[in-house]
């Protein structure tokens, strides 16, 4: 091996030791508020489905693929269901009839 070969090998070893870059390492949390009070905090890296009970009815939320959405609701307008999934900081889903607000916040 020449000197250059040794340098190449050394560089390859160093790169193999560096962990892969994670550009989206900041953990995202969504808060679920009912009537202005936080009833639940969601880790968006998880995968789950659950029900939020409000005075006027209930909404079924799904957390998947780093996003949260309302999959089912018994509110009259269904605006929250049509809103689709949210995943970016500051995005919200509101269910006005049930006074439910879901907001993506930082950690």
Applying CB under 5 A, the residues found at the interface with Zn ion are 73, 75, 80, 95
Phi, psi of 76, rounded to the nearest 5 degrees: -70, -30
DSSP class of residue 66 equals T
Measured from the CB atom, the residue of 16 and 34 that comes closer to Zn ion is 34
Q: Which residue has 């689709």 as its token pair?
A: 84
Measured from the CB atom, the residue of 34 and 73 that comes closer to Zn ion is 73
CB of 57 to Zn ion, least distance (A): 8
CB of 102 to Zn ion, least distance (A): 11
CB of 83 to Zn ion, least distance (A): 9
Measured from the CB atom, the residue of 64 and 83 that comes closer to Zn ion is 83
CB of 60 to Zn ion, least distance (A): 11
Helix (H, G, I), strand (E, B) or coil at 36: coil
Other residues' Cβ atoms within 10 Å of the Cβ of residue 58: 17
Beta strand 57-64 with 48-54 is antiparallel
Phi, psi of 70, rounded to the nearest 5 degrees: -95, 115
Measured from the CB atom, the residue of 14 and 96 that comes closer to Zn ion is 96
């Amino acid at each position: 091996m020449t000197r250059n070969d040794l340098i190449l090998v050394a560089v390859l070893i160093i790169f193999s030791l560096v962990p892969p870059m994670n550009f989206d390492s900041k953990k995202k949390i969504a808060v679920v508020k009912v009537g202005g009070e936080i009833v639940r905090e969601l880790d968006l890296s998880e995968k789950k489905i659950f029900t939020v009970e409000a005075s006027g009815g209930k909404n079924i939320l799904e957390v998947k693929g780093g996003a949260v959405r309302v999959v089912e609701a018994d509110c009259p307008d269904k605006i929250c269901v049509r809103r689709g999934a949210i995943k970016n900081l500051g995005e919200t889903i509101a269910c006005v009839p049930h006074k439910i607000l879901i907001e993506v916040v930082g950690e």
